[in-house]
Each structure stands twice: as C-alpha cells, then as structure tokens.
Amino acid sequence: MIKYAVVGIGRMGHIHAMNLYSSMVDGATLVAVCDIDDNKLKRFKLSAPEVLTFGNYKELIAIDIDAVIVATPHYQHGEITRYFLENNISVLSEKPQCVSITESKLINECAEKSGALYGIMYNQRTNPVYARAKEIISSGLLGDIRRVEMVVTHWYRSQFYYNQGGWRASWRGEGGGILINQCVHQLDILQWLVGMPKSIRAKCKTVNRSISVENDVTAVLEYDNGAMGVFVASGHELSGTNRLEIAGSNGKIVIDDFNLKFIQYAHSEVEVNACVTAGYGEVETTVERISYSGEYRDRDEKYGQQLRVVEAFTNALSEGSQLIADGKEGINALTIINGIYLSNYINQSVEIPFDSNQYDQVLTKLKKGEEK
C-alpha cells in the first residue's frame, strides 16, 4: 500500500486528498494532510478523523509516508518538492512545476540525485484524443511536421473571479496570468506532441480586466525543421475555442475540443508535388475520428482527470510502471511560458535556450511593478 500525504488542501488538494481517503486509488492510502490554514485542517479532520494533520510540511518526514502530492500555490512547488526529494520521499507535483526555469533546473538536479520518484500533474495527457495524436506522430504517420496552430480561448475568467483575490493572477502570487495558470496544460501537450520550438516571438495583453498579468497571448513559434507554429490564448472570449491543428507532410491532425480527426494522405505531399502536372493537387485520404467521451470521460468528470495521474503514479511506485509525466519534463512548458513573457517584455524574438537569469530579472521587475 503506497502511503500518501497531501500538502495544500485547497480546491485541488482537497480533491486529491478525498480521492485517496475514499479509496478511489487502488493500492494507495492517505496518511496525512498539511496546510498552513488551520481552519482547513480542522474541517478536513471532521470528515477524515484518522488522517494526521500538519501545519508545516517539514514535519511530514517524521511520519511513515512514501509519497507527497504538492498542491500549494505555484511559488511553493519548488521548495516543497526539493525538500521531499532530498529526503527520498516521492513527489507528485501539481502543475506548473514552479514559476521560473532557474528554479526548475534546481528541482531537476535534485530529482536526478534523489532515489525517489518525481511526477507532475499533466492530466490532459490522459485525454484519449491527445494520447492518440501522440501515437500518430511518434509512429511517423504524420510525416514531417510543417505547421502547428493551437487556439486556447476557452478559459473565460471574469473580473469577479479575479476580485476574489488570493495568489491568483499576479506576478507576485503566481508568476503570470492565463499562461502559467491555465495554459500550462496546453503548452505541455504542444511540446509533448511536436517538441520544443527553437524561437518564440510573442505579444501579451490584458483585455478588459483590472489585473497586472496577461489574459491574451499570441505567440509565433519556430521549430528546428523550419516548421512554424502559432499559439493563441485568451481568457475573455465568451464563446471560446480549444483547437489544435498539426499539419504534416503525410496528413493532418485536427483536435477540436474533445474530437480528433486524422486525415491521412495516400501519398505524401512531397510525392504528390513531384507528380502533378497541374497548378493544384489532390490526394486520396482516409479519415480517422475519435472522441473523448463515454464512460471514460464520465469518470473523469465525476472524480477529476487528475485521478488517472495519481493512479499511474501509485502504480509506478508499486510496480515500476510508466508515469504519465516525469516531473523533470515540467521544464519544457515552463521554458515556453518564460520565453513568451520574456519576448513580450523585451519586444523581440527569444531563442531557446535563453538566459534564465535574464527572465528572473524581468520577473523581479514585474513583481515590483505591482507594488505601486
């Protein structure tokens, strides 16, 4: 039985803790929870009296636990993750890995040295439409990737949401806006499917909200093989879109919301272009469609897609099976996010890898700007 503690029992951590407590995860049990808010601990104790409660995460190493789920606000992810990995206790961290790639590198070094397992909550990788896209691309069916377009405008957040305050939507509280909070999921999916860009040129804006961080982003991404990508995100469109198009030399993947369409060419575009004797060209195609639906999706809607990541993490600990996402991969989406913020700030293209200290200096200035 894998013995868990959950650090941070706010909205997300409470769901993780209750799933573990109510035996939703085979082979796992909840031993303890930790939060700096004593009222949350008291409330939790009422529904789970035998679970130990702590106000300081450092005290958890004195009890018998195998793994910790870190579900605090982003700025604490790095410090808490490193503490447990250094003490050889496995960590499943909520996204984002942390706020800056300088810290991400420190965590990754620590994970390399630790004998414990490190995973990250990239639950959208369990969505069958993205998992199928990954298979199609990895198996070479799509051919060379030529163009990528991701439009993520379905994370509508009102001024009322922001007025609730707390750590959200500020440079000081979470190190950014829609990108680091919501879109980190999609940016992980993007890099998981097509790899890292070699350069980024981006503009970030704040549209119709009184917040100091962005809720509107357009980024142009360039890849090593010459492919170009466009990433668009917004949190102010009432009829938002969640769409990904990846065009390759042998076909095209279109994921619209929870539906995947894979158009596969009978001959690659290179072959078609070499043969046609007219100004235009056509090719026979086959079309595959799958949806994120049915019982699989019903379960996710009931208990949270994140439960699948906790299950996989538990199995990885007990049987050595594969993680949904290695925690060290958290640096990739974070690099794109820091790169977008840096490009916007300096109003220039950013080559990857870039100097993480340069981004840290920008972040410090952005935080200072909020003090006025």
Ligand X SMILES: NC(=O)c1ccc[n+]([C@@H]2O[C@H](COP(=O)([O-])OP(=O)(O)OC[C@H]3O[C@@H](n4cnc5c(N)ncnc54)[C@H](O)[C@@H]3O)[C@@H](O)[C@H]2O)c1
The one among 41, 83, 84, 94 contacting ligand X by CB under 6 A: 94
Among 16, 82, 95, 209, binds ligand X (CB under 6 A): 95
Instruction: Candidates 73, 128, 195, 240: give the one binding ligand X (CB under 6 A).
Output: 73
List the interface residues with ligand X, window 52-71 (CB under 6 A).
57, 71
Closest separation in Å from C-beta 310 to ligand X: 11
For the CB of residue 158, give the shortest distance to ligand X in the complex, in Å. 16
307 forms beta bridges with none
Taking residues 117 to 156 in sequence order and writing x for each that binds ligand X by CB under 6 A, - otherwise, the string is ----x-x---------------------------------
Task: Report helix angle 330-346 to 101-113, nearest 10.
Answer: 160
Residue 281 — left, alpha, or beta (φ > 0 → left; ψ -120 to 50 → alpha)?
Answer: beta
Place of tokens 């995100």: 233
Neighbours of 208 (CB within 10 A): 9
Residue with the shortest CB distance to ligand X: 10
Residues 221 to 260 in contact with ligand X, rule: CB under 6 A: none
| Residue among 131, 152, 142 nearest 247 (CA) | 142
Task: Extract the tokens encoding 74.
Answer: 């982003």
Tokens 């925690």 belong to residue: 327
129/245 Cα distance (integer angstroms): 12
307 near 24, Cβ under 8 Å? Answer: yes
Gap between the Cα atoms of 154 and 363, Å rounded: 26
Q: Is 40 in the site for ligand X (CB under 6 A)?
A: yes
User: Using CB under 6 A, which of 20, 30, 34, 202 touches ligand X?
Assistant: 34
Among 4, 6, 13, 82, binds ligand X (CB under 6 A): 13
Enumerate residues 161-180 that contact ligand X by CB under 6 A.
166
Rank residues 136 and 336 by Cβ distance to ligand X and give the closer one.
336
Q: What does the alpha-carbon distance between residue 109 and residue 227 come to, in Å, rounded to a whole number?
A: 31
- Minimum gap (Å) between residue 214 Cβ and ligand X: 16
User: Is the Cβ of residue 8 or residue 339 nearer to ligand X in the bound state?
Assistant: 8
> What is the maximum span of the chain, computed from C-alpha positions, in angstroms?
77
Whether residue 55 contacts residue 36, with contact meaning beta carbons closer than 8 Å, is answered with yes
Task: Round to whole Å and give the CA distance between 207 and 73.
Answer: 24
Rounded to whole angstroms, how far apart are CA atoms 12 and 93? Answer: 12
Q: Which of 178, 253 has the CB closer to ligand X?
A: 178
> Which region, judged by CB under 6 A, interacts with ligand X, from 23-31, 36-44, 198-206, 321-329?
36-44
- Binders of ligand X among residues 259 to 278 (CB under 6 A) are none
Q: Count the site residues for ligand X by CB under 6 A.
A: 25
Instruction: Give the dihedral sign, CA 217/100/60/90.
Output: positive
10 binding ligand X? (CB under 6 A)? yes
DSSP H or E segment with residue 205: strand 199-205
Minimum Å distance from CB 352 to ligand X? 23
Q: What is the nearest approach in angstroms of ligand X to the Cβ of residue 5?
A: 11
188 binds ligand X (CB under 6 A): no
The single-letter code of the amino acid at 111 is: A
Q: Segment near ligand X (CB under 6 A), from 31-39, 248-256, 284-292, 316-324?
A: 31-39
Q: Which residues bind ligand X (CB under 6 A)?
A: 7-13, 34-37, 40, 57, 71-74, 76, 94-95, 121, 123, 166, 181, 306
